[in-house]
């Protein structure tokens, strides 16, 4: 996760105003915070897919899936303002907002073989995953968790224990096992076999847990494996692993914080691309277009094992203002046809990016679904050796050309291109031109 971070030694080259802000930050904010870029960006305004800094410079936001409809989308601003002027309380009083939203949200979920979906609301993805892990333990009677080797699932004790992306300083829970992500490009495994390959890894992890007397509670995964390097293809590869998990008495938690809410273009949810019906689904980031709202949707029979015994109250979770924001997001995704848009504009963008391979052999792989793309930088396409230094240098070059993004993957060499869904075909020229110029400037 520690990628293109600003470090104190970069301060010398900064203009006085930027330098003063970085110094104020380090004087008063906790040292765990990281700041992007050697020349940090001081943003003051956002509109759609664009951001503006204090000098009025315009940037193309290729990073932000939180402002998913676009920065400051008027439908969300209006819905939040209206509700804030009327009432904002908690879920211990009756209110239609949370019920209307839940009815609407659940229309996007697949039919269950038995029982019903039930929704609960929080403020962050971490809280949603934390609750899902607790529910999984209650239902299964087990303690064991499986996650991927570069996964990120949150900030709490439970979720950070299954978040190896936090680096070697973060202990992995003793009851957790990590499996390599299903990476077709890096493993070179036949795409038709990657599902079976991945299921074998999950089976081995379950065996290892059981050999130490730990029963499986849950396998948790982000179905586009964004922090593992953006691994969307081939759709369907997760299904076999989920069967293995269920056979061992565990549940599958689909962490939709990254792929959810239409981003992948093909489906509204990432899990749907894999033809899976999860046991627990966690929602976050794009859900409120910037308002902190998150959720957990669960099969009622799974949830009951927890909720029949343990109350759950989240002071801000599900409040009328958050629900108004979430409703405006759902309504706008449909009204603006953003799922189909993400699909069309995302695949056109990837064709253009693919074209860069002809001029720059550092571009090893371009992959994605909808408006979620990973571009892998390598020393040589034949060896596929990851080029982390180049990726970090490209981030800085892109920033100088007004394009903001970051990197992902175990080697930190995959450019993560994940703009607001407001991204338009015309923005592709800016992105591809900036990337082309950046690689050329770096002699690659």
Closer CB to ligand PMP, residue 130 or residue 387?
A: 130
Closest CA to 260 of 245, 250, 273, 277: 273
Q: How far, in Å, CA of 238 to CA of 184, rounded?
A: 13
Q: Where are the alpha helices (DSSP H) in 141-286?
A: 157-160, 184-187, 194-211, 239-247, 270-273
Closer CB to ligand PMP, residue 122 or residue 398?
A: 122
Check residue 405 for interaction with ligand PMP (CB under 6 A): no
Check residue 406 for interaction with ligand PMP (CB under 6 A): no
Residue 126 is encoded by which pair of tokens? 């971490």
Interacting residue with ligand PMP among 143, 150, 228, 255 (CB under 6 A):
255
Closer CB to ligand PMP, residue 240 or residue 256?
A: 256
CB of 211 to ligand PMP, least distance (A): 29
Residue 59 and residue 433 in contact, taking contact as beta carbons nearer than 8 Å: no
Residue 258 and residue 284 in contact, taking contact as beta carbons nearer than 8 Å: no
Interacting residue with ligand PMP among 102, 258, 339, 405 (CB under 6 A):
258
Closest CA to 47 of 346, 383, 397, 420: 420
Which residue's Cβ lies closest to ligand PMP?
125
Per-position DSSP letters for 297-312, written without gaps between them? EEEHHHHHHHHTT---
Residue 224 and residue 152 in contact, taking contact as beta carbons nearer than 8 Å: no
Check residue 5 for interaction with ligand PMP (CB under 6 A): no
Residue 74 and residue 290 in contact, taking contact as beta carbons nearer than 8 Å: no
CB of 206 to ligand PMP, least distance (A): 22
Q: Which stretch binds ligand PMP (CB under 6 A): 150-158, 173-181, 335-343, 381-389?
A: 150-158
Closer CB to ligand PMP, residue 149 or residue 155?
A: 155
Q: Which stretch binds ligand PMP (CB under 6 A): 49-57, 147-155, 296-304, 412-420?
A: 147-155
CB of 163 to ligand PMP, least distance (A): 8
Closer CB to ligand PMP, residue 36 or residue 387?
A: 36
Residue 140 and residue 220 in contact, taking contact as beta carbons nearer than 8 Å: no
Closer CB to ligand PMP, residue 281 or residue 302?
A: 281
Count of residues interacting with ligand PMP (CB under 6 A): 13
Residue with tokens 């966690």: 282
Q: How far, in Å, CA of 355 to CA of 363, rounded?
A: 10
Q: How many CB atoms lie within 10 A of CB 34?
A: 12
Q: Which stretch binds ligand PMP (CB under 6 A): 51-59, 123-131, 201-209, 268-276?
A: 123-131
Check residue 155 for interaction with ligand PMP (CB under 6 A): yes
CB of 122 to ligand PMP, least distance (A): 9
Q: How far, in Å, CA of 27 to CA of 15, rounded?
A: 18
Interacting residue with ligand PMP among 64, 91, 102, 126 (CB under 6 A):
126
Interacting residue with ligand PMP among 4, 129, 289, 405 (CB under 6 A):
129
Closer CB to ligand PMP, residue 133 or residue 362?
A: 133
Closest CA to 442 of 360, 374, 376: 360
Check residue 153 for interaction with ligand PMP (CB under 6 A): yes
CB of 249 to ligand PMP, least distance (A): 24
Q: How far, in Å, CA of 308 to CA of 443, rounded?
A: 62
Instruction: State the Cα angle at 321 between 317 and 327, rounded to 5°.
Output: 95
Residue 234 is encoded by which pair of tokens? 């081939």
Closer CB to ligand PMP, residue 18 or residue 148?
A: 148
Check residue 438 for interaction with ligand PMP (CB under 6 A): no
Instruction: State the Cα angle at 333 between 408 and 182, rounded to 5°.
Output: 30
Interacting residue with ligand PMP among 4, 64, 91, 124 (CB under 6 A):
124
Check residue 125 for interaction with ligand PMP (CB under 6 A): yes
Residue 316 and residue 92 in contact, taking contact as beta carbons nearer than 8 Å: no
Q: How far, in Å, CA of 279 to CA of 303, rounded?
A: 9
Binding mask 263-302 for ligand PMP (x = CB under 6 A): ---------------------x------------------
H/E stretch holding 403: strand 403-404
Check residue 222 for interaction with ligand PMP (CB under 6 A): yes
- Contacts to ligand PMP by CB under 6 A: 124-126, 129, 152-155, 222, 255, 257-258, 284
């Amino acid at each position: 996760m520690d990628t293109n971070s600003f470090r104190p030694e970069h301060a010398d080259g900064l203009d006085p105003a930027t330098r003063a802000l970085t110094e104020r930050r380090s004087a008063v904010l906790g040292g765990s915070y990281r700041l992007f870029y050697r020349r940090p960006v001081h943003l003051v305004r956002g509109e759609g897919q664009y951001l503006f800094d204090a000098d009025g410079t315009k940037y193309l936001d290729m990073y932000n899936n939180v402002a998913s409809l676009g920065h400051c989308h008027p439908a969300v601003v209006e819905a939040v303002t209206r509700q804030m002027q009327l009432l904002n309380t908690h879920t211990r009083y009756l209110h239609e907002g949370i019920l209307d939203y839940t009815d609407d949200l659940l229309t996007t979920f697949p039919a269950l073989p038995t029982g019903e979906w039930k929704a609960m609301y929080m403020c962050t993805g971490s809280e949603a995953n934390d609750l899902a892990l607790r529910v999984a333990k209650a239902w299964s009677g087990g303690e064991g968790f499986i996650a991927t080797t570069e996964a990120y699932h949150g900030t709490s004790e439970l979720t950070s224990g299954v978040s190896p992306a936090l680096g070697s300083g973060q202990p992995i829970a003793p009851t957790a096992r990590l499996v390599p992500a299903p990476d077709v490009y890096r493993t070179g495994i036949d795409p038709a076999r990657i599902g079976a390959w991945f299921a074998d890894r999950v089976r081995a992890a379950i065996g290892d847990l059981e050999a130490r007397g730990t029963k499986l509670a849950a396998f948790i995964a982000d179905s586009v494996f964004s922090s593992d390097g953006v691994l969307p293809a081939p759709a369907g590869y997760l299904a076999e692993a989920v069967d293995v998990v269920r056979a061992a008495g565990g549940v599958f938690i689909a962490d939709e914080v990254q792929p959810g809410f239409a981003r992948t273009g093909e489906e509204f949810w990432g899990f749907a691309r894999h033809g899976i019906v999860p046991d627990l689904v966690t929602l976050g980031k794009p859900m409120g277009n910037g308002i902190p709202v998150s959720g957990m949707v669960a099969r009622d029979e799974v949830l009951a094992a927890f909720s029949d015994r343990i109350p759950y109250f989240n002071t801000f979770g599900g409040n009328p203002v958050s629900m108004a924001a979430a409703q405006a997001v759902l309504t706008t995704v449909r009204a603006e046809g953003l799922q189909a848009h993400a699909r069309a504009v995302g695949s056109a963008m990837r064709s253009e990016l693919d074209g860069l391979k002809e001029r720059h052999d550092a571009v090893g792989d371009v992959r994605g679904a909808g408006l979620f793309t990973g571009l892998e930088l390598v020393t040589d396409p034949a060896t596929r050796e990851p080029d982390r230094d180049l990726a970090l240098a490209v981030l800085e070059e892109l920033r100088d050309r007004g394009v903001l993004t970051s990197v992902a993957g175990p080697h930190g060499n995959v450019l993560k291109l994940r703009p607001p869904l407001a991204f338009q075909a015309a923005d592709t020229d800016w992105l591809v031109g900036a990337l082309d110029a950046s690689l050329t400037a770096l002699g690659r």
